[in-house]
Structure 1
């Protein structure tokens, strides 16, 4: 990494945070493209105007900017100062909200600088790192349209080093032993209970966790294990002898991009824990209905939907969550001690299919240098060099294949069976062939399944009434709004923005490609996929507003589904793309 001030970890992190804030503000307040190369943002509540050079203006919102300044001033604004001005503009009547956003932007920026510094000092992935894990650990700056993508409130520096995927952290699980009377569990694993699987995992590499006779082993993330000891429900279980704290034991696991889902290349499963840290907008604790939803989807896939999906779209699949186990309070309440068992289709075996997180694929890499390419840019430019074609031509072809193998199967599943997948970029895995072309995809996340009241009855032949009691059986209008954002804006248009902002393609050409695919899907599925027509022709789309959601202190995992986030109208860049 260059030693120039502009390339220090602190400057790289601050520049990324500033761009995030400006992108969020532009999207969420409908700022139009400036006539020249200077963005001006009037902030009347503070009596100032902020300006920033426009380095790249993206039709889908993935803009690039130079340093932001107060108009008339020479000193660049730190991201935390810009956050304070924006917070005053949106929440002037609530000093607590202003303080919260400012502090969390500062925290996110500080954490990002540490990620950049340490990764720059050790750029090579450790021996044995799979392609899957490398991509999970590559989101150094995080979501480009979120104000606080790397905030990890309350983590000490030592905890940050151990628990952060960006720092290639790893650690042993913390084990508890619980009386069977306070354990709930489910498993679709052939001949294996969740309880039995926990014993197998505890024994990995000669792990030392031993359950007292007559008890059940339950693992926890070490941070969560410490946090729940202060909770009354857990203290009551410990005091009554219904729960025993066994401490950390066994081999080390690695955190993936969600922080709370852990991976070992040699383990048959991944583990998704409750983690009471507030990451982006939410404290990441599993709700019981989410645990049940994962197992229900696995039963549905095993009953026939999985074979049907693969027959129609051979390259696409869903990563399954076949089991879960949880400790309940004596009154049946949640304790925060629970874990989802997730299949691990990405071991270190040389013949195993490897898939990479879409968000990691497109992520900038300031840790590798100020002009270092993303994995996506490296793949596209490598393909162009090997084939003798132009970079833009290859990028358009790459995007067309991505639409065909990753996006189309998600929309087909919703049109045909009324099952919606919340397939944003972090929940989407891309299968790449040896040359770097997308040849398939995987979806993961037990939180993000939606069941349509008008079409999910198509699934009842496999599992009667599936989805009706799993918390996301909601009106088609709600599902359409969510999928329009997650699949349309975040995933599909996000890929357009990544290819455009990284100098690989003309975004307008990519938008035309996307509009053509959506037009074909709309013609094929008609009223069963009104979403395709909406994405292609609506003048505006409903878009999640991460900045306003953060300012208002909303938790996206609690409350009614329809009111967990702030949504705004976004001018649809696909409208008229084929004209």
Structure 2
């Protein structure tokens, strides 16, 4: 087996190059470019990227060519001066440097690329660390049977189409081992006691947010730490955030005035989910999502006040006829609610004290529940992917081919994910940002059983249906700022659910050798055509199946421009680019030039 550093660096190159190829289309297929260099190596084809401004060619041997755009490469990858026959192997830092320089020249920018380079290096180093630390879990990472938190903490490579998927800034080495999901640390939450006059809270549940937290502490045997004053509010905080908050001048003022008191660590042990700042305990009926002063991938991981209100607002919508309709039609589709929150009444879009209280549907039964990214994640040690283990187990039990099982599995999956998501958008104009990390699947006998969507940041109310939503919830959008143009709602639904999620899942089947991507793309297209014939989400579906190219979020270019996707208007949070459409009229169209 390759050493851990090599595994991490090759994974970094693969993600980085896949982003570049998808977002720029700057490549062409070539023949006989590497000759004897490819002796005894598995190569499907060879492609070349010409960096014209530097007169350099990057030669890439490909061992798996993907219709959905995430290819697997054979290493080493090579480069040479244009016109020369001699080639040299590329390390990941040289590759990133050459492509970054090319982008700077193309855009006539003179700013240094050191920040971008730093993020790539940090990400690669972190992957090395995680692979070293999790070697003992090699078999568990490809087991067909798993728990919710095992799946959440299985993303050692992270987002497979992101150039800096594991970069973290603002966290020490020691803190990583305590708080990062990849390293499975456990920790207590830290608590503040606040006078009710400085607390902001809301809840769609029978109990207030403050009561939920008090009950949580009582359940963990901390009744003796609670005051007799029922009006006192206890706010949990992530340990990383607590340390940061205590040092702030405005917080020091509240402490001095006696309006706020720092209690310290209390209660149950929690552990990080895949989102880092959302924490889970198998002993708790709720998960908690915090603001933390850490920059991960593109963004500083803080919650904004409007997102807290959005979570409670969605819960109230789901308590209305909208939720009743959804449950009656699609009983295997669930939205994990964020029904309550706590915060302090301080200035700014984010105070640092935000506590989002999230349902924990896996409290009593955490078996065989995985975020979709966990099913698709490449195995860090070269073993089976999770989806491969699941499908091969089913094929063995049923004495059927993996092709037939994969088609049945994916067809069932579309019934509990695609169908309700399209219905919700068509009927009520609610678009969900259902990407691979926001989507959790609970298996039933190995097949798709129940689909869960989560994320209070990922809701869009299309403008054309806003008046309908207001009839169900008169205060709609007053604080949540969720209404957007139909164009933006469709753009987000198209990218996050179709390109990121479904194309990513299809790629997971393909790279595992279970079935060709083309067969699953045809199944997806057929399902969309049926919806189109029924008049469901006509504009959206037409934009998916009857066009040669699709707008796609460009993770590399967004990162290159140092854009924070959690800040700014909906229209300017990310860079979008056009990519070839694998479910267009010609499924199987060659991707690229």
TM-score (norm 2): 0.90
Q: Give how far 1:503 is off.
A: 1.4
Q: 1:477 to 1:304 in 2, by over 3 A?
A: same
Q: Give how far 1:95 is off.
A: 6.2
Paired residue for 2:187, among 157, 162, 171?
171
Q: 1:356 to 1:33 in 2, by over 3 A?
A: farther
1:77 aligns with 2:87: no
Deviations 1:313-368 (A, max 9, x none): 12101001110001132x5764211110000111244xx785310111111121xx
1:421 aligns with 2:429: no
Q: Give how far 1:35 is off.
A: 4.2
Q: Give how far 1:461 is off.
A: 3.9
Deviations 1:233-282 (A, max 9, x none): 33333343332222222221011000010111121100011122111111
Secondary structure (helix, strand or coil) at the match of 1:271 reads: strand
Which moves more between the two structures, 250-259 or 461-470? 461-470
1:399 aligns with 2:410: yes
What is the match of residue 210 of structure 2?
Answer: 195
Distance 1:478 1:465 in 2: 22
Which moves more between the two structures, 545-554 or 149-158? 149-158
Does the aligned pair in 1 maintain the 2:14–2:72 contact within 8 Å?
A: yes
1:107 aligns with 2:122: yes
What is the match of residue 24 of structure 1?
Answer: 19
What is the match of residue 544 of structure 1?
Answer: 553
1:268 aligns with 2:282: no
1:290 aligns with 2:307: yes
1:357 aligns with 2:368: no
Q: Give how far 1:75 is off.
A: 5.5
1:387 aligns with 2:398: yes
Distance 2:578 2:478 in 1: 30
Distance 2:305 2:529 in 1: 39
Deviations 1:365-411 (A, max 9, x none): 21xx32x1111110111111112222122222222221121122111
Q: 1:107 to 1:524 in 2, by over 3 A?
A: same
What is the match of residue 491 of structure 1?
Answer: 501
Distance 2:546 2:349 in 1: 47
Q: Give how far 1:563 is off.
A: 0.4
Which moves more between the two structures, 300-309 or 11-20? 300-309
What is the match of residue 38 of structure 2?
Answer: none
Q: Give how far 1:19 is off.
A: 0.3
Paired residue for 2:68, among 54, 60, 68?
60
Does the aligned pair in 2 maintain the 1:518–1:533 contact within 8 Å?
A: no
What is the match of residue 457 of structure 2?
Answer: 447
Distance 2:369 2:466 in 1: 29
Distance 2:351 2:461 in 1: 28
Q: 1:532 to 1:333 in 2, by over 3 A?
A: closer
Distance 2:309 2:112 in 1: 35
Paired residue for 2:150, among 129, 134, 137?
134
Q: 1:334 to 1:44 in 2, by over 3 A?
A: same
1:220 aligns with 2:237: yes
Distance 1:118 1:244 in 2: 37
Distance 2:16 2:367 in 1: 37
Secondary structure (helix, strand or coil) at the match of 1:336 reads: coil
RMSD over equivalenced CA pairs, Å: 2.2
Q: 1:389 to 1:502 in 2, by over 3 A?
A: same
Secondary structure (helix, strand or coil) at the match of 2:29 reads: coil
Q: 1:355 to 1:38 in 2, by over 3 A?
A: same
Distance 2:54 2:251 in 1: 47
TM-score (norm 1): 0.92
Q: 1:64 to 1:221 in 2, by over 3 A?
A: same
What is the match of residue 298 of structure 2?
Answer: 281
What is the match of residue 244 of structure 1?
Answer: 261
Does the aligned pair in 2 maintain the 1:163–1:255 contact within 8 Å?
A: yes
Secondary structure (helix, strand or coil) at the match of 2:244 reads: helix
Deviations 1:498-555 (A, max 9, x none): 11122111111111111111111112135x4411121111221110000000010100
Paired residue for 1:500, among 485, 506, 510?
510
Distance 2:311 2:362 in 1: 19
Give unmatched runs, 5+ long, in structure 1. Answer: none
Secondary structure (helix, strand or coil) at the match of 2:559 reads: helix
Distance 1:438 1:51 in 2: 40
What is the match of residue 41 of structure 2?
Answer: none
Secondary structure (helix, strand or coil) at the match of 1:335 reads: coil
**How many residues align structurally?**
563
Secondary structure (helix, strand or coil) at the match of 1:49 reads: strand
Secondary structure (helix, strand or coil) at the match of 1:425 reads: coil
Q: 1:294 to 1:134 in 2, by over 3 A?
A: same
Does the aligned pair in 2 maintain the 1:175–1:209 contact within 8 Å?
A: no
Does the aligned pair in 1 maintain the 2:499–2:552 contact within 8 Å?
A: yes
What is the match of residue 317 of structure 1?
Answer: 334
Distance 2:349 2:499 in 1: 37
Does the aligned pair in 1 maintain the 2:286–2:358 contact within 8 Å?
A: yes
